[in-house]
A = this chain, B = another copy of it.
């Protein structure tokens, strides 16, 4: 263990807010698969959602965006706050204490180090095309990668619960906000958009009802083009009527499936 590394690890605290941090549930969709970006801090053997501390000079949104940029390389991620989590017992784990961390890292960790304090965390989520993202681990991580939403590795603290809460919030918000725009190509087939909504909502949706709702609301436009996907299959292509979509959302129209 290098002395300078250890000092940095301690001193970092001074530039950050105490007792409050941010966590980002970064969800990625690609070809019917929903994944979440996780990091593995080098001090423990478990995974966490991507997150970090808030600098005294930045807002909670700026902190969330800075950390998301560091992990994904994407500047324009739309992060939506969904809930804050805070209780004295939230960050308890049998591997998260001075003794275990000293053994694992070789750092001499005092039992009252600031990282063991009670932290309230402000949860954000975002949804992106995961093939766009090059996962990049942070200064204090061993690893950072995508995990399928239904096959999560062992997770630290309440982070698995935070992912579930983010998915719940997303499935409510999908009725009120144009989530999903950037996850489809400009022209897509009905099965493509159907699979996207099924993945996000985590349930199967009746084919006919689904497309009827989108068409009745004027949100989807049926194009004259078709997509050749086999010798005998060439379904019609569709596109969003963005103006109608935005107008509907402003008026409080809600899309429920």
- Which A residues form the contact surface with B (CB < 8 A)? 17-20, 54, 56-62, 81, 83-88, 118, 120, 122, 172, 175-176, 252-254, 256
Whether the pair A84, B252 counts as a contact (CB closer than 8 A) is no
Residues of B within 8 A of A59 (CB): 86-88
Q: A122 near B19 (CB under 8 angstroms)?
A: no
How far apart are A213's CB and chain B's nearest CB, in angstroms? 12
Closest B residue, CB atoms, query A62: B87
Across the interface, do B84 and A122 meet the contact criterion of CB distance under 8 Å?
Answer: yes
Alpha-carbon distance between A2 and B176 when the two chains are bound, in angstroms: 54
In the assembled complex, the Cα of A120 lies from the Cα of B81 at a distance in Å of: 14
Among all A-B residue pairs, the 4 with the closest Cβ atoms = A59-B87, A60-B86, A20-B20, A17-B19
Contacts of A57 in B (CB 8 A): 88
A121 to chain B, nearest CB (A): 10
Are A120 and B118 within 8 A (Cβ)? Answer: no
Chain B residues with CB under 8 A of A54: 86, 120
Chain B residue numbers with a CB within 8 Å of A253 are 256
Q: Which residues of B contact A118 (CB under 8 A)?
A: 17, 56
Q: In the complex the two chains form, what is the Cα distance from A122 to B17 in whole Å? A: 15
Are A175 and B254 also in contact (CB < 8 A) when A60-B87, A84-B81 are? yes
Question: Min CB distance, A62 to chain B, in Å?
Answer: 8
Whole-angstrom CA separation of A253 from B256 in the bound complex: 8
CB pair A120 B17 closer than 8 Å: yes
CB-based contact A60/B84 at 8 Å? yes
Given contact pairs A54-B120, A60-B85, A60-B120, a sample of 12 additional A-B residue pairs in the complex whose CB atoms are under 8 Å apart: A17-B20, A17-B120, A18-B19, A56-B88, A59-B86, A59-B88, A60-B86, A81-B84, A84-B84, A120-B120, A122-B122, A172-B176
Contacts of A256 in B (CB 8 A): 252-254
